[in-house]
Structures are given as structure tokens and as C-alpha cells.
């Protein structure tokens, strides 16, 4: 992200630890940075899933059985050994890639839905800042964002569809300020009285963060992925009644 010479109407400007940053509304020029963060998060989630799948005993036992069966079908030893491995690897890769679409992510739909329907959706971004030699604040990188909207089924409720902070900045309390700002906006600018959050079981840092900030589990459901023991438990968390901060 290229530095720019002016701050885009910050909602909150603060310093946490050694990092100066501000929180502002999403602008259309931010879309590529948000997409980068989404990709970073998917990798963070999918790597442990992939490792768990390919290190699972069930996978290797199934592979061995398929090789034995294929040896009776194919005459060439190389084909007998490679064919089952290719098929199982392809199937697992397909299941893993399809799972990421079931894990809720912002911008899974078109950017227009998030930028034009601001009455129903809103995105706040956290941007690191630095002063130049002329004491002008320059934006550096978008290091996190929060996306919230109206809850699809609960009346008078808002839903946090996504909250993500890049790994290097998770100790700087940026997520805390994003959530605090989100709560303040919902309390002061809308009629919503309750706040929900959706979180994947693989998002361990985010799940712990929400529990530490007075969310409690409201509902859970499981997404299976072929290999026994490898599942994604989606969690719906909620807070008590909102009050102005």
C-alpha cells in the first residue's frame, strides 16, 4: 500500500505499544489490501487443515489398501502405486479447497455489495501511521479490519461477519480498538441492541479474543471433511444487550 499524505477522516486515532495507527471507514481503494488480508487468513486456516489431513492414519491406510487393489487391476507397478496416491491427494485437495468457501469470509461476494449498501454493511480498517519530517501523518499499511452488518435472522441485532488482524500486530490491541469502535458505532448510530459474531473453529486467536471480550457461544454447527477427526466447528457468539460506551 502506497503511503498517502492525508488521513482519510479517522474515527479513532491512537497509539498502542510502539505502533501508531488509526481506524477509519473502508474506501474503495482499500479493496486490494483487504483481499490480501483475506488471502493471508485463508492460508493461516488451511495450512493446519492440510497437515492434519495428510498426516492422518486413516489416509495412509486407505492409500495402502488402494495400492494393493490397484496392483491386481494394473499390470505396471508404477501405475499401481501412483494412481491411488494421485486420486486420494486430488480428492483431499478438492475437499480442503471447498471447505474454505464454507468458512465465512468477507468479499466472498462482489465488492459492490460491501461498498454500496452501507446502510446494511460497514467495514472499518486499522491503518498504521507514521509522521514525516514535516509532521504530516502518512498512512502505511492496513493491518486489520472488521466487517459488520444487520443480522439476517435476529431482529434488532448486528452481526460481525469478519474480524482479522495480521499476525505481526495481534499483540498491539488493535483488535480491541476495532471491536470497541464497532460497538460504539452500533450503539450511537443504529437501533441495534445486540451484537453477534461468527467465528470458525480454526480461527483460534479470534475465538479466544471474542471470549475474552464478553462474547458467549450462542450456537455451533460442524462441517466435516472426509478424514475422521478433521472438522470445522462454526461458532455463533453473542454479547449481552448493547449500551452506549
Is residue 17 in some structural domain?
yes
Residue scoring higher pLDDT (226 or 85): 85
> Could you tell me if 177 and 77 lie in one domain?
no
Cell of 181: 469502535
Q: Is 181 inside a domain boundary? A: yes
Query: Is the CB of residue 21 less than 8 Å from the CB of residue 129?
Result: yes
**Of the candidate ranges 112-126, 186-200, 209-223, the one whose mean pLDDT is the lowest:** 112-126
Structure confidence at residue 178 as a pLDDT band (50, 70, 90): very high
The answer to whether residue 223 sits within a structural domain is yes
- Please indicate, yes or no, if residue 188 is contained in any of the structural domains: yes
pLDDT at 226 over 50: yes
CB 105, CB 42: distance < 8 Å: yes
- pLDDT tens by residue, 81-125: 778 778 777 777 777 666 655 544 443 444 444 444 445 678 899
Percent of the chain with pLDDT over 90: 5
33 inside domain? no
**Span 41-54, pLDDT tens digits:** 877 777 777 777 77
Instruction: Pick the last residue of a domain from 74, 102, 130.
Output: 102
Q: Strands 231-238 and 12-16, how do they pair?
A: unpaired
Residues 18 and 45 in one domain: no
Residue 36 is assigned to a structural domain of this protein: no
Chain mean pLDDT for the chain: 75
Quick one: 98 and 113 in the same domain? no
Between 129 and 49, the more confident residue is 129
- Lookup: cell for 16: 498502542
The pLDDT of residue 180 is above 50: yes
Q: Is residue 182 part of a domain?
A: yes
User: Is the model more confident about 205 or about 228?
Assistant: 205
Does 119 share its domain with 89? no
Contact criterion met (CB below 8 Å) for 148 and 159: yes
Residue 18 pLDDT? 66
**Residue 192 pLDDT:** 84
pLDDT at residue 8, rounded to an integer:
54
Domain with 129 in it: 12-28+109-238
- Cα first-last separation, the chain: 33
Question: In terms of domains, do 158 and 201 share one?
Answer: yes
Q: What is the mean pLDDT of residues 30-59?
A: 78
Same domain, 219 and 141: yes
- Where residue 119 sits, what CATH number does that domain have? 3.40.630.30
For every residue of the chain, DSSP letters joined together read ----SS----SEEEEETTEEEEEEE--GGGHHHHHHHHHHHHHHHHHHHHHHHHT-HHHHHHHHHHHHHHHHH-S-HHHHHHHHHHHHHHHHHHHHHHHHHHS--TTSS-HHHHHH-TTTEEEEEEEEEEE-TTS-EEEEEEEEEEEEEE-SSSTTEEEEEEEEE-GGGTTTTHHHHHHHHHHHHHHHHS---EEEEEE-TT-HHHHHHHHHTT-EEEEEEEEE-SSTT-EEEEEEEE-S-----
Domain assignment present for 35:
no
Q: Do 114 and 89 belong to one domain?
A: no
157 with 192: CB under 8 angstroms? yes
Domain end, chosen from 71, 102, 133, is at 102
Q: Quick one: 219 and 125 in the same domain?
A: yes
Q: Which of 102, 124, 141 is the last residue of a domain?
A: 102
Amino acid at each position: 500500500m502506497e503511503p498517502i499524505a492525508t488521513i482519510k477522516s479517522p474515527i479513532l486515532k491512537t497509539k498502542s505499544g510502539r505502533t501508531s495507527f488509526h481506524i477509519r471507514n473502508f474506501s474503495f481503494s482499500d479493496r486490494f489490501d483487504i483481499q490480501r488480508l483475506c488471502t493471508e487468513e485463508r492460508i493461516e486456516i488451511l495450512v493446519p487443515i492440510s497437515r492434519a489431513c495428510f498426516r492422518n492414519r486413516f489416509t495412509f491406510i486407505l492409500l495402502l489398501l488402494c495400492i494393493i487393489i490397484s496392483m491386481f487391476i494394473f499390470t505396471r507397478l508404477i501405475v499401481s502405486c501412483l494412481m491411488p496416491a494421485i486420486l486420494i491427494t486430488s480428492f483431499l485437495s478438492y475437499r480442503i479447497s471447498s471447505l474454505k468457501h464454507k468458512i465465512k469470509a468477507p468479499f466472498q461476494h462482489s465488492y459492490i455489495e460491501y461498498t454500496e449498501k452501507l446502510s446494511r454493511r460497514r467495514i472499518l480498517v486499522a491503518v498504521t501511521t507514521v509522521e514525516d519530517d514535516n509532521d504530516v501523518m502518512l498512512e502505511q499499511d492496513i493491518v486489520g479490519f472488521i466487517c459488520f452488518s444487520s443480522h439476517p435472522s435476529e431482529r434488532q441485532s448486528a452481526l460481525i461477519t469478519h474480524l482479522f488482524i495480521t499476525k505481526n500486530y495481534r499483540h498491539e490491541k488493535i483488535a480491541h480498538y476495532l471491536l470497541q469502535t464497532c460497538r460504539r458505532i452500533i450503539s450511537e448510530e443504529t437501533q441495534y441492541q445486540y451484537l453477534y459474531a461468527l467465528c470458525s473453529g480454526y480461527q483460534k486467536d479470534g475465538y479466544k479474543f471474542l471470549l475474552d471480550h464478553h462474547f458467549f457461544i450462542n450456537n455451533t454447527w460442524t462441517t466435516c471433511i472426509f478424514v475422521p477427526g478433521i472438522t470445522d466447528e462454526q461458532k455463533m457468539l453473542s454479547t449481552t444487550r448493547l449500551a452506549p460506551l
